[in-house]
Amino acid sequence: MIAPTPEQVLMRDSLIQLLGDGVSRMRGADGGPPDRAVWVDICEAGWPGLLLPEASGGWGGTAIDMVMVLEGAAATLAPEPLIAALATAPLLAACGTEPAHALLANMLAGQTVVLPAEMAISPLAPDGGFVLFDAPWADVAVIGAGQGDGFRLVALSSAEMEDAPLRRTIDGGAQRILSLAAGAGRLLAEGPKAAQAFYATRDLLRLGAAASLVGLVARAFALTVEYLGMRSQFGQPIGAFQALQHRAASMHVAHAAAWALVCEAALAVGGDKERVACAMAKAKASATARGVLKDCVQMHGAIGFSDEYVLAPLFRRAVTLASAFGTPEACLAELGCEG
């Protein structure tokens, strides 16, 4: 199993410390305008530059660094849009245009939150459109549309998003479905090179979400194993019942497989199989999270169904993240097409 290096452990732990009590910020959010204090700290510490080359003011980190850090940070349940920020900075840097450059500078400084929107597959978007996750955070949304020479990467300002209804999600966040009228938004870049950078960012988003999902699984599973040892019924710890032991063992196997695939995908970033690997990682991590988190609730009994215990927000975040940045079904469908 791939373990984090000592440097990665240091990085991860400093981020976890910065994020602090994410659960209460998540619980407090409820789709409203976010409190940006922690976000500003995160930006001041330089986090959105993790994947940028040192020459562009970043840390020169790798996809493996990102995966290690996000896996560890996920369990804080912090609502800050970390995955999106890490994955979007390289896109803006790659544009090579003045507007993109200015946007990147503001983003790194913590003044502007730039979030990518993705093609919507949703009953609420029968005519297409783009889903913006964590919408209350977004000052600017970036949208990629078209193909080849016709590809355009545009930025929508918050004023241009306001008309789309804000819909709350169960993790305390909210999403909007944006439409892109012809000529709307500010052009950041166009053509095949921009498309390539855009798809690379989409891969990073999937990978980052997959790593976070595995982190949520790890946390929920650890709580469950602990509970199996603590809770007694029929005069013995429930962890002594073989029905639960076998289930826990299966969860352990499922977690290990998902984590291995996420790490493998991180090692594929930059190569020919990057797209396939990131889609697989997202599909697998999402399916694992959906399955394992349900079992964690079940094995806790009624306390697992109560919102007064931390499992409930972990469950809701996992369900939310499983459908964000490429649903597992969409990722698998794409793999099928590419044969």
Partner 1 sequence: MLRIETEAEQAFRREVRDWYEAELPEDLRDLTFRPEPAQALGWYRRLSQKGWIAPHWPKAFGGMGASPVEQVILMEEAARIGAPELPTQGLNQIGPILQRFGTPEQQARHLPAILNGDVIWCQGYSEPGSGSDLASLRTRGRVEGDEIVITGHKIWTTWGHHADWIYALVRTNEELPRRQGITFILVDLKLPGITRRPIRTLADECEFCEVFFDAVRVPRANVVGILDGGWNIVTALLDEERIQLGAPSHALRALERVRRMARALGPVLGASGRLRLAEAETEVAALTAAFLQTPTEAEQGRTPDASSLKILSTETTQRVLDIAQELAGAAAPLKSPASVGGTVIDFSELFLQSRRLSIYGGTNEIQRGLIADRVLKLPKGKRP
Ligand X SMILES: Cc1cc2nc3c(=O)[nH]c(=O)nc-3n(C[C@H](O)[C@H](O)[C@H](O)COP(=O)(O)OP(=O)(O)OC[C@H]3O[C@@H](n4cnc5c(N)ncnc54)[C@H](O)[C@@H]3O)c2cc1C
The residues that touch ligand X, with contacts defined as CB under 6 A, are: 231, 233-234, 238, 241, 243-244, 298-299, 301-302, 305
Question: By CB under 8 A, is residue 123 in contact with partner 1?
Answer: yes
DSSP 227-293: HHHH-EETTEEGGGSHHHHHHHHHHHHHHHHHHHHHHHHHHHTTSTTHHHHHHHHHHHHHHHHHHHH
Instruction: Considering the complex, state which of residue 147 and residue 236 has its C-beta at the smaller distance from ligand X.
Output: 236
CB of 307 to ligand X, least distance (A): 12
Tokens of 194: 């921009």
Instruction: Considering the complex, state which of residue 61 and residue 328 has its C-beta at the smaller distance from partner 1.
Output: 328
What backbone phi and psi angles, to 5 degrees, belong to 243? -60, -40
What backbone phi and psi angles, to 5 degrees, belong to 48? -60, -15
- Tell me 139's DSSP state: S
Instruction: Considering the complex, state which of residue 287 and residue 297 has its C-beta at the smaller distance from ligand X.
Output: 297
What backbone phi and psi angles, to 5 degrees, belong to 91? -65, -50
- Which residue type is seen at 161? M
Which entry of ligand X, partner 1, none binds 294, CB below 5 to 8 A by partner kind?
partner 1
Pairing, β 130-132 against β 174-178: antiparallel
- Comparing CA positions, the residue from 198, 83, 91, 186 lying closest to residue 146 is 198
Residues 6+ apart with CB under 8 A from 148: 191, 192, 195
Binding mask 93-112 toward partner 1 (x if CB under 8 A, else -) reads --------------------
Instruction: Considering the complex, state which of residue 59 and residue 241 has its C-beta at the smaller distance from ligand X.
Output: 241
Q: Which of residues 246-305 bind partner 1 (CB under 8 A)?
A: 290, 294, 297-298, 301-302, 304-305
Q: Which of residues 38-97 bind partner 1 (CB under 8 A)?
A: none
Alpha carbons within 13 angstroms on the beta-carbon side of residue 215 total: 24
What backbone phi and psi angles, to 5 degrees, belong to 137? -80, -25
CB of 336 to partner 1, least distance (A): 9
CB of 222 to ligand X, least distance (A): 17
Instruction: Considering the complex, state which of residue 54 and residue 329 has its C-beta at the smaller distance from partner 1.
Output: 329
Question: By CB under 8 A, is residue 131 in contact with partner 1?
Answer: yes
Question: By CB under 8 A, is residue 167 in contact with partner 1?
Answer: yes
Among 8, 112, 175, 212, binds partner 1 (CB under 8 A): 175
- Tell me 310's DSSP state: T
Size of the site for partner 1 (CB under 8 A): 45
Which entry of partner 1, ligand X, none binds 124, CB below 5 to 8 A by partner kind?
partner 1
Which entry of partner 1, ligand X, none binds 333, CB below 5 to 8 A by partner kind?
partner 1
Instruction: Considering the complex, state which of residue 49 and residue 313 has its C-beta at the smaller distance from partner 1.
Output: 313
Place of tokens 């499922």: 254
CB of 240 to partner 1, least distance (A): 10
Q: Which of residues 294-333 bind partner 1 (CB under 8 A)?
A: 294, 297-298, 301-302, 304-308, 312, 315-316, 319-320, 322-324, 327, 329-330, 333
What is the rounded distance in angstroms from the CA atom of residue 205 to the CA atom of residue 199?
10
Residues 6+ apart with CB under 8 A from 97: 188, 189
Is 124 within 8 Å of 104 (Cβ atoms)? no
Binding site for partner 1 (CB under 8 A): 31, 118, 120-124, 126, 131, 167-171, 175, 233-236, 241, 243-244, 290, 294, 297-298, 301-302, 304-308, 312, 315-316, 319-320, 322-324, 327, 329-330, 333
